[in-house]
Amino acid sequence: MQDVLNEIARAMAAETERGKVADYIPELAHVDPQKFAISLATVEGARYSAGCATTPFSIQSISKVFTLTIALGKMGDALWSNVGREPSGDPFNSIVQLEHEGGKPRNPFINAGAIAVVDAIMMGHEPKETLAELLSFVRYIADDDSICFDHTVAASEMAHRDRNASLAHFMKAFGRLRHDVDKVLGTYFHQCAIAMSCQQLAHAGLFLASDGVNQPSNIRVVSPQRARRINSLMMMCGHYDASGEFAFRVGLPGKSGVGGGILAIAPGQGAIAVWSPGLDEYGNSLLGTKALEMFVQRTGWSVFGH
Ligand SMILES: NC(=O)CC[C@H](N)C(=O)O
């Protein structure tokens, strides 16, 4: 397996077309597009990495998997009265469906949906309490207490929040958000600004590959049914309006972020994290997707076989 990851890292280093680093969050525009990392954590406890797999990066929308997990833990199926679970077919920051659909976002992974999930988690608490809970959950599933928020990235997003603020205010006008919009946004931006390395991310995602059980601690994080459902949502909605393309090429539940990371889950096998900061036109990592496509071709770990 180490040979497979080395081969992928070598192939990605040779790529000249690397996509475009996100610059609508100015702080992310400084990241070096040459960076590449891949890590695999298997359900049997093996760990493999290639590239700069211990370098932390902004996980951005990958964090939506963790907040969804927390929200389902707190309120179970009641969450679905305010958030849908269908692919949107629209860009991650689109507002268009909200108007026709009563302010209810299509799924928890588009920005509107993730903002509604954060509002659901807050339950009357202040942002710092919600963020402390989120950080301790992420540190627990990654088994690493060094994981932190990048406050500079969060501040950069807050300063350029017009688009996300529009989504939040629009939902609030439909009675979908309970808390003050700026508090919800501040919480959401910090969530997106969690910094993690590929090694940490692969470890954190492992419970989704092993029917909801954290490894190697063997402690249950979610039920097998919930793990299956989160994986289904990642497969259907994790790459926004390119989710069909990702399923076609990779065939694994996956969640991307505009920091250039992707967390992919191979149920029963392991969790794979990749990072390459350059994005495609849909805001998903260009080489991250390519690397995962190569990975499933070599391993046959796609849920649809070789
Ligand atoms: N796709 C993403 O990673 C988007 C997350 C980013 N924080 C935003 O709200 O725009």
User: Where are the CATH 3.40.710.10 domain residues in the chain?
Assistant: 2-60+194-299, 62-192
> According to CATH, what is the number of the domain 62-192?
3.40.710.10
Compute, in angstroms, the gap from residue 241 CA to the centroid of ligand 1: 14
Full pLDDT tens readout for the chain, 306 residues: 999 999 999 999 999 999 999 999 999 999 999 999 999 999 999 999 999 999 999 999 999 999 999 999 999 999 999 999 999 999 999 999 999 999 999 999 999 999 999 999 999 999 999 999 999 999 999 999 999 999 999 999 999 999 999 999 999 999 999 999 999 999 999 999 999 999 999 999 999 999 999 988 898 999 999 999 999 999 999 999 999 999 999 999 999 999 999 999 999 999 999 999 999 999 999 999 999 999 999 999 999 988
Instruction: Find out whether 281 is annotated in a ligand binding site.
Output: no
Q: Is 61 annotated as a binding residue?
A: yes
Per the confidence metrics, is the pTM higher than 0.95? yes
User: Which option is the CATH number for 2-60+194-299: 3.40.220.10, 3.40.640.10, 3.40.1390.30, 3.40.710.10?
Assistant: 3.40.710.10
What ipTM, to 2 d.p.?
Answer: 0.97
DSSP string across the chain: -HHHHHHHHHHHHT-S---EE--SSGGGGGS-TT--EEEEEETTS-EEEEESTT--EE-GGGHHHHHHHHHHHHHGGGGGGTS--S---S-TT--HHHHHTTT--S-TTSHHHHHHHHHHHHTT--HHHHHHHHHHHHHHHHT-TT-EE-HHHHHHHHHT-HHHHHHHHHHHHTT---S-HHHHHHHHHHHHTEEE-HHHHHHHHHHHHTTTB-TTT--BSS-HHHHHHHHHHHHHHTTGGGHHHHHHHT-S-EEE-TTSEEEEEETTTEEEEEE--EE-TTSSBHHHHHHHHHHHHHH--STT--
For residue 6, how far is its CA from the centre of ligand 1 (angstroms)?
Answer: 30
